[in-house]
Amino acid sequence: MTGTEGGAPEILVRFDQVFKSFRTSRGRRQVALDGFSMSVPTGAVVGLLGPNGSGKTTALKALLGLARPDRGTITAFGRELPADQRFVARRMGALIEGPAFTGSLTGEHNLRLLGELHGARRDEVADVLELVGLDGAAHRSYSGYSLGMKQRLGVAAALISRPDLLVLDEPMNGLDPEAVRHMRELLKRLRDERGMTVVVSSHILSEVELVSDWVTIVRNGRVICDASVPELLARGTSRLVVRVHDAVTARSVLTDHGYTAVPAFGPAGAELQVEPPATRPTPSDGSDVLRLLTERDVYPRELVVESASLEDIYVAAVRAADAATATARQEPRHGT
Ligand SMILES: Nc1ncnc2c1ncn2[C@@H]1O[C@H](COP(=O)(O)OP(=O)(O)OP(=O)(O)O)[C@@H](O)[C@H]1O
Ligand SMILES: [Mg+2]
């Protein structure tokens, strides 16, 4: 499968304005998806990120036909759901809300039984066990598996039908750092060696940051950010840090030119955190700051351009969405 065609990514799954609410036991309506729209590019690892209760599992369940949207459309493999759910289900493997296996049987036996449903041969079962790193524990009974081993067997079960699209809901939950790393390596291998498209949810950015090509951030049932990782990183503004002996003069030079310069105390002593004027058309690479200062005989000891991390962008997106929600609440609605 190819990830891109003529620059624009080919889209394997698309959610368009999906709404889903549940009735709670107290008879109240709980909105889980509130106009949820996202796209999954073919051949990518997509990180579906969001805080607890933001709607990740509900969205994935809707894709798998385990939750029926109230409104909106979901298309996958060019087919519309739920009408073509069976067609799509044959091409998808999923691990949602923990796997169910028989405790008294070995990992291999559990997987073999599942494989029979999908016509998987014994060597394919062995291959999948090797892929998830369980070949050494294949003949131990499932009840004796650690949490990480259980998660791996769950992923193996999702892979046994040789899917084109793998959907994993919080597969890194409860894993130790070594196992998280192993899971990331596995997802990359599945993408690179088997051409799979992978959707992996998490509420911890660092868990999926290193493996995702594409990031979708969900908040209160709505997608607040849906973009490729390079695009996101380019979107984030970099931060300039200037270390000077005479911070007072440096600050006045910069503020005279419309820059914001906030004094701070960093690991290397006193510094100024500098932001270019909002009117500046391109991000600053620091040369403008250096020129302004040296023209006034202020020579920085150090000037660092710190580019925004995905975490900065995540936090900024969440804050912007919260601010927009607060504004919408304050403003009276017209015509809706
Ligand atoms: N079966 C259900 N009945 C009632 N409410 C539900 C049901 N399933 C989900 N919800 C509610 O819908 C919202 C979204 O839940 P969902 O499980 O999709 O979130 P999530 O992002 O997966 O959270 P987490 O990170 O904790 O797994 C929550 O407010 C949740 O309480
Ligand atoms: Mg969930």
Nearest protein CA to atom 28 of ligand 1, as residue: 53
Residues of the chain with CATH 3.30.70: 237-306
Query: For residue 48, how far is its CA from the centre of ligand 1 (angstroms)?
Result: 15
Calculate the dihedral angle through the C-alpha atoms of 9, 12, 13, 14, rounding to the nearest 10 degrees. Answer: 40
- 130 neighbors 138 (Cβ within 8 angstroms): no
The rounded distance, in Å, linking the Cα atoms of 300 and 289 is 10
With a Cβ cut-off of 6 Å, ligand 1 is lined by: 22, 24, 30, 32, 50, 52-58, 203
Report residue 61 as tokens. Answer: 């369940």
Cβ atoms within 10 Å, residue 68:
10
Instruction: Pick the residue whose CA is nearest to atom 6 on ligand 1.
Output: 22
Q: What angle do CA 313, 314, 318 make, to 5 degrees?
A: 115
DSSP code string of 140-191: SBGGG--HHHHHHHHHHHHHTT--SEEEEESTTTT--HHHHHHHHHHHHHHH
Cα–Cα separations (whole angstroms), residue 62 to 41, 77, 85: 18, 15, 10
**How would you write the pLDDT of the chain (336 residues) with one tens digit per residue?**
444 445 677 999 999 999 999 998 888 999 999 999 999 999 999 999 998 999 999 999 999 999 999 999 999 999 999 888 889 999 999 999 767 899 999 999 999 999 998 888 889 999 999 999 898 999 999 999 988 889 899 999 999 999 999 999 999 887 888 888 989 999 999 999 999 999 999 988 888 888 899 999 999 999 998 888 888 877 766 778 999 888 899 999 999 999 999 988 776 677 898 988 878 777 778 899 999 999 999 999 999 887 777 777 777 777 777 887 777 777 665 544
Which pLDDT score is estimated for 333?
56
Find out whether 68 and 33 touch, Cβ atoms under 8 Å: no
CATH of 237-306, one of 3.10.310, 3.30.70, 1.10.10, 2.40.50: 3.30.70
The enclosing H or E element of 306 equals strand 302-306
The CA-CA-CA angle for residues 190, 195, 198, to 5°, reads 60
Check: CB of residue 105 under 8 Å from CB of residue 141. yes
Taking the C-alpha atoms of residue 168 and residue 93, their distance in angstroms, rounded to an integer, is 8
Tokens for 75, please give them. Answer: 């298309």
| Among 319, 90, 311, CA closest to 209 | 311
In the chain, which residues fall in CATH 3.40.50.300? 4-24+31-234
Closest ligand relative to 29 C-alpha? 1
| Residue nearest atom 24 of ligand 1, based on CA coordinates | 52
Q: Does domain 4-24+31-234 have CATH number 3.30.70.270?
A: no
Ligand 1 atom with least separation from CA of 58 = 18
Number of C-beta neighbours around residue 171 at 10 A = 27
pLDDT at 336: 44
Nearest CA to ligand 1 atom 16: 55
SS3 labels along 224-262: EEEEEHHHHHHHCCCEEEEECCCHHHHHHHHHHCCCEEE
Both tokens of 52, joined, read 């607890």
